């Protein structure tokens, strides 16, 4: 198969899905799938990652045709571990909602969950790194907890210790910058560096000249490369200083 479109159609049919069924699973409008398959809208890298996450169809195969269409099935230990992590995360979100049972759509807002996959590409906005998963929060809680519009928030889980001890591996943070990039101010930022998402404390030393500051040794500063791009500012998370 020579094109992304042909592989996308083949994958959908292999899964036994209609365009509407695929759209429902990916939480997108059914016309988007039609536009992908008619090549009216680009099937992007983030779309491929969402497809892989939902159906275990290789994003690399979809985009390049290389390798096998389906990813290997996870082993039992991995599946068990992922299930435990999922339940822990669900408990975390329930705690964040202050135990409130939300029953009407008007009180709930779905906050996108960033998929910080290594080598995700050169996206210029946080939207480029969002998969299909969202987390539901009480709108009033979001509005009262963060001094930013709730629609501009997304959620990210830290996967390394680079920000320790301020933010630890496995902890969740709220990031301002989903709908539009926030105005710059010194603080902790999500940035694209070497084609990966990372979280660093950033300080402006001159116009268009930024440095990253070590959490363990604040006197240790490193110039941020010109190729780095600030995507969103961390506005909340664990009860620590941001």
CATH code, 130: 2.10.109.10
∠201-202-207 over CA atoms, to 5°?
175
Confidence at residue 132, expressed as pLDDT on a 0 to 100 scale: 62
Residue 70 lies in a domain: no
Confidence at residue 204, expressed as pLDDT on a 0 to 100 scale: 93
11 by Cβ neighbours in 10 Å (0-12 / 13-18 / 19+) ranks as buried
Phi and psi torsions of 159, nearest 5°:
-115, 5
Chain segment 94-126, per-residue pLDDT in tens = 444 443 333 344 567 778 887 654 334 456 788
One domain, residues 155 and 106: yes
Dihedral of CA 135/167/118/75: which sign?
negative
pTM above 0.75, yes or no: no
One domain, residues 167 and 202: yes
Give the range of the structural domain holding residue 58, as residue numbers without chain letter: 4-64
Chain segment 119-155, per-residue pLDDT in tens = 344 567 888 777 667 777 778 888 888 888 988 998 8
Residue 180 lies in a domain: yes
Confidence at residue 131, expressed as pLDDT on a 0 to 100 scale: 66
Alpha carbon distance 63, 54 (integer Å): 16
One domain, residues 48 and 111: no
Q: Which residues of the chain have pLDDT under 50?
A: 76-105, 117-121, 239-242
Residue 71 lies in a domain: no
Alpha carbon distance 90, 113 (integer Å): 13
One domain, residues 89 and 190: yes
One domain, residues 130 and 232: yes
CATH code for position 52: 1.10.260.40
Taking alpha carbons only, the member of 119, 114, 118 closest to residue 130 is 114
Alpha carbon distance 29, 26 (integer Å): 9
Count of other CB atoms within 10 angstroms of residue 44: 15
Helix (H/G/I), strand (E/B), else coil: 88: helix
Element (H, E) at 133: strand 130-138
Instruction: Please state the domain count of the chain.
Output: 2
One domain, residues 117 and 198: yes
Contacts of 18 (CB under 8 A, 6+ apart): none
């Amino acid at each position: 198969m020579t094109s992304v479109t042909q592989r996308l159609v083949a994958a959908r049919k292999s899964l036994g899905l209609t365009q509407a069924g695929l759209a429902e699973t990916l939480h997108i409008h059914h016309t988007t799938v039609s536009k992908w398959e008619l090549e009216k809208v680009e099937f992007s890298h983030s779309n491929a990652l969402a497809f892989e996450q939902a159906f275990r169809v290789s994003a690399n195969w979809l985009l390049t045709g290389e390798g096998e269409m389906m990813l290997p099935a996870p082993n039992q230990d991995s599946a068990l571990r992922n299930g435990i992590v999922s339940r822990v995360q669900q408990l975390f979100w329930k705690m964040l909602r202050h135990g409130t049972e939300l029953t009407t759509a008007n009180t709930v807002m779905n906050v996108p969950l960033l998929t910080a996959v290594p080598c995700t590409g050169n996206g210029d906005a946080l939207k480029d790194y969002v998969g299909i998963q969202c987390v539901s929060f009480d709108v009033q809680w979001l509005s009262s907890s963060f001094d930013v519009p709730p629609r501009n928030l997304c959620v990210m889980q830290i996967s390394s210790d680079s920000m320790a001890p301020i933010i630890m591996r496995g902890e969740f943070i709220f990031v301002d910058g989903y709908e539009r990039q926030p105005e710059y101010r010194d603080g902790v930022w999500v940035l694209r560096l070497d084609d990966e998402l990372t979280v660093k404390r950033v300080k402006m030393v001159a116009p268009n000249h930024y440095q990253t500051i070590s959490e363990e040794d604040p006197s240790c500063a490193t110039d941020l490369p010109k190729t780095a791009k600030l995507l969103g500012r961390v506005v909340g998370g664990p009860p620590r200083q941001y």
